[in-house]
Amino acid sequence: MAISTTELKSAIIASLNLQDITPDKIDDDAPLFGAGLGLDSIDALELVVMLEKNYRIVIKDIEEGRPAFQSVRTLAAFIEAKQAT
């Protein structure tokens, strides 16, 4: 099942309490951490919670999520891969 990136962006904005940011302001390929949205390691943990709540994907080790948290596109691909298994 293809993941709606707009929906995913909305979920990210809600879970991270990002102010003054709308889904259309987030580029699918922009880095989420560091330079891009300026997120940090604690935001990554909030994304872990969001993935479980919205997509029923459980991550027990943050290293497992690291490659997926590069950008919205990699995260969507990660969710699709997890849901396919």
Partner 1 sequence: MGIVAAPGRNVTEVWQAVAHGTCGLKPLTLFPSPRYGQIPVGEIKQDLIELGAPLRSSRSDKLAWLAARDALRDAKLNPAENADRTGILLGCSVGGSFDSERFLINLMKRGIMRPRPTRFHECASAVDLIADYFGLFGPGLAVATACSSGALAIAAAAELIQTGEADVMLAGGTDSLSRTTWSGFHSLLLVDAAGCRPFDVARSGMSFGEGAAVLVLESEGNAVKRGATIIARLSGWGASCDAHHATQPHPEGAGALAAMQSALRRANLPAAAIDYVNAHGTGTRDNDLAEAKALKQLFGDRVPPFSSTKRIFGHALAASGALEAVVCIEALRRGQLPPNPGFREMDPAIGLAPVTALRAAALTHVMSNSFGFGGNNAALIFSQPDTTPQTRSLRPISVSVIGIGMTGPGKVMRRAIEPPMPPAELPVHACGSLDTSSLTPNQRRRLSRFIQMALLAARRCPSPAANDRVAVALGTGFGAIEEGSILLENWIAKDEREPMPARFPGSVHNAPAAQVAIELGAHQLNSAPTAGEISFEGALWQGWCQLAGDEADCALVGAVDELNKYPLGIGKRWGFWTEKTRPGEGAVVAQIVADRSRRGNGAESQPTTEDPPPHVGGYLARVTSLRLGRYRRPFDTTREVEWITAAVDLTNVAAIFSGAKGWPVLDEYFESIVSALSARAGRTLAHLTYKQDCGEFGAASAFGFAAAVEWVRQNQHSALLYTLSPRGGKAICLLEP
* Residues engaged in binding partner 1 (CB under 8 A): 16-20, 38, 40-43, 45-46, 48-49, 52-53, 59-62
Q: What is the nearest approach in angstroms of partner 1 to the Cβ of residue 75?
A: 17
Strand partners, 39: 33
φ and ψ at 18, to 5 degrees? -75, 120
d(CA 54, CA 29): 21
Q: What is the nearest approach in angstroms of partner 1 to the Cβ of residue 59?
A: 8
Q: What is the nearest approach in angstroms of partner 1 to the Cβ of residue 80?
A: 23
Query: Residues 6 or more apart from 5 whose CB is under 8 A from it?
Result: 28, 72, 73, 76
Residue with smaller CB distance to partner 1, 44 or 75: 44
Residue with smaller CB distance to partner 1, 8 or 50: 50
